Each structure stands twice: as C-alpha cells, then as structure tokens.
Amino acid sequence: MPALLFSFLQMTVLIILGFVLRKTRVIDERVQQGLSNILIHAVLPFNLISSSQYEYSREMILALIAVAGASLCYFTFSIIGMRFFVKNIKMEDQERRVVIMTSIFMNTGFVGFPLMQALFGEKGMLLASCYNMVFNIFMYTYGEHKLSRKKANARNLLLNPVTLATIAALILFIIPWRMPGHVKETIDIVGNMTVPLAMIIIGSTLTTVNIKKLFTDKLSYFSTALRLIIFPAIMLGAVIIVRHYVYIMPVTATTIVIMTALPCGSMNVIFSEKFNCAPKLCARNFAQTVVLMIVTIPVFLAICTHLFGN
C-alpha cells in the first residue's frame, strides 16, 4: 500500500507543477493544447503499444475479459439508472444532460492510463486499455448524442488514435510474437512521458476554473458524489460479490474499481463546449472531481488493498 500511495503522491506533485507553470505563464492556452495533442496522438498510443509486450498468459486473458465485462455492465446499468434517477430532479434540460454525462463518464485517458501505469506498470496499462475501449464505444455513441442531440459520429470512434492503439495493443498481446528489446526500449522512451505530461496538463487546466464557484455549486457536488463515491462503491460491492464465486486477480479487481473511481472525463468538457450544452457547469464538474480525487482515490486504493491484496 505505501508504494501505491507514493505513486499517487508523485502524480499530485506533477499536478501542482502544472498549476504553477500555468499561473506563471510558462504554459499558456496554446502550449497546453499542443501538449494535449502530443499526449493523445503520440505518447498514449506508444504507451499502449508498449503494454502489449507484457508476458502472455491465460490468466491475463481472463483478466482482460473480466475488465471488459465489468466496464460493459457499468456503462449499461449506469446509463439506464441515471435516466430514471435524475428524471424528477429540478434542473434545466442542458444541466440534466451534463450531470448525467459527468456522473457516468470518467477520465480514462488523462488520469486512468497514467494512474494504472504508475500503480501496476504494463499489466495495469493493458487492463486499463481494455476498460477504455468499452468507454470509447459508449462515449462516442451515447455520450456524443446525449450532449449534441444529434446522431453519433462513428468516424470519431473508429479513427480515434487511442482506440486504434488499443486495438493494436490487444492484438499484439494475443499473438505469440514479441518485439526485439531495442525496439521496445525506443517505444518506451515516448510512452514513459504519459504520467508527467498528463498530470501537468491536468494541473494547468485547473487554473482556468473559478475557485469560488467550484465549491459552491450544488449540482457539481451532486455529480461529484456520484462520480467519485457512489458509482465506485457500487462497483466495489459488485466485485466483492463476484469474487465469492469466480476468482479475480487482485490487480484486476483493483483496476476495475479504481477505473470506475476516476474523475470526470475531459471529453465531457470538449463535447459540452462544442455543442454549447452547459459548458461552465461541465467544466466545474470536471475540475471539482479532479481536485477531490486526491482524497477519494487513495481511500478506494486502501480499501482494495485491504480486501484484495496487492
């Protein structure tokens, strides 16, 4: 457990660094956009390809199936449940749509991948990529339609660089061939930038949010509670029950819970701005969950370590 908490502490320091760099204008909006593009189009894909070189085993295949099944169940039931849960709560239509999205869809890319890499290395990245693939399917179909009220664009799903890299990584993991050492080392040089780059970008993003409104918006607290506490707690309970009947590796069980406990996804903010669907509320929900995850994720990590082991 101390090693996991130390990894999370390192990520927190990087977030603070990103915040300071933006405040001191070393990073501006243009630089941040460039860093985000580099992360999405190069660094994350390289890191995913690197994770595919993890040693093949039947146990790992079953772990990937377990993660895919858990994420599929999560998105299916959370979407159905949220539609009924917020139906009678008094709020505007756009606010309702944003609350649904920011409660359900987490930050699998900027936070999930680097966190899983920091905690569990290549095994964590590979499992996270499987969870993320299911996330992308729901995000670019249901999610895009929910915020735009338009038909989802399948092209965005299929041509997303992270999706393509995920598919390639899963194929490369399944086949018996492994890259020569010097080739993998070259890929690792790029992929190892994932954690510092992603955390610096998140820290920079936090400077753009009105701090006063960040902690006074009741809708944000409602969405944050669902995203960081309620949904991961339900997933934790489900994993505990399933483990009574089916063996699940400790790393797999922890990955499923922690991926569900991630803060609000940045794609929510991008889509809400693009389709002008309560973008300020969406940005506050995103920022609030990123700030409060510093407390909630270590708690869930401690619980998972106690219940499942390392």
What would the pLDDT profile of 152-196 be if each residue is shown by its tens digit? 666 666 777 888 888 888 888 888 788 888 888 999 898 888 888
Both structure tokens of 25: 């204008």
Domain boundaries, given as residue ranges, for the chain: 2-308
pLDDT tens profile 19-46: 899 999 999 888 988 888 888 888 888 9
- CA separation for the pair 256, 310 (Å, rounded): 14
Q: How is domain 2-308 classified at the CATH fold level?
A: Na+/H+ antiporter like fold (1.20.1530)
Both structure tokens of 236: 């934790």
User: Over pLDDT 70: what percentage of the chain?
Assistant: 95
pLDDT at residue 237, rounded to an integer: 97
Give the end-to-end CA distance of the chain in Å, rounded to a whole number. 8
Round the average pLDDT of the chain to a whole number and report it. Answer: 87
What's the pLDDT band for 60 if we cut at 50, 70, 90? very high
User: Does 1 have pLDDT greater than 60?
Assistant: no
User: Does 4 have pLDDT greater than 70?
Assistant: no
pLDDT tens profile 235-250: 999 999 999 999 999 9
User: Over pLDDT 90: what percentage of the chain?
Assistant: 35
- CA separation for the pair 118, 3 (Å, rounded): 10
Average pLDDT over residues 254-262: 96
Query: Which positions ≥6 away from 279 have C-beta within 8 Å?
Result: 269, 272, 273
pLDDT at residue 263, rounded to an integer: 92
